[in-house]
Amino acid sequence: QVQLVESGGGLVQPGGSLRLSCAASGFTMGAYAIGWFRQAPGKQREGVSCISITAGLAWYVDSVEGRFTVSRDNPKNAVYLQMNSLKPDDTAIYYCARRKYDNCSGFRSITGYDYWGEGTQVTVSS
């Protein structure tokens, strides 16, 4: 059974950092590109980042470029999202998802993913 489980969310002050983890089971994560999404209250789910199979390439939405870094540890079946210089606008539930394709082209569209985790809450507030 394919499962993705996010962890690492929490409450952090503006300017702080969090590291989210996405753990996979039921499949070999190293064979798939993985995306990160977020959804704030009253807003649509937004693609944040995507990492290629070999971790050689990563993509980011403009609003997080330079602040977020996605990485993966294929032997551990895990993907991470390091979030620095957090802002109140980053407050959302963060999800990881498995891509249907072996690349990150069009990564911001939710239709490109077949399995999703249940999310982890990130709150940026003073």
Q: What is the pLDDT of residue 55?
A: 64
User: How many residues comprise the chain?
Assistant: 126
Q: What is the pLDDT of residue 108?
A: 95
Among 112, 109, 119, which Cα is nearest to 98's? 112
Task: For the chain, 126 residues long, give each residue's pLDDT as a single digit of tens.
Answer: 999 999 999 999 999 999 999 999 999 988 999 999 999 999 999 999 999 987 679 999 999 999 999 999 989 999 999 999 999 999 999 999 999 988 899 999 999 999 999 999 999 999
- Burial class of 58 by CB neighbour count within 10 A (0 to 12, 13 to 18, 19+): middle
For residue 101, the 8-state DSSP code is: S
The span from the first CA to the last CA of the chain, in angstroms, equals 40
Cβ count near 105 (within 10 Å): 12
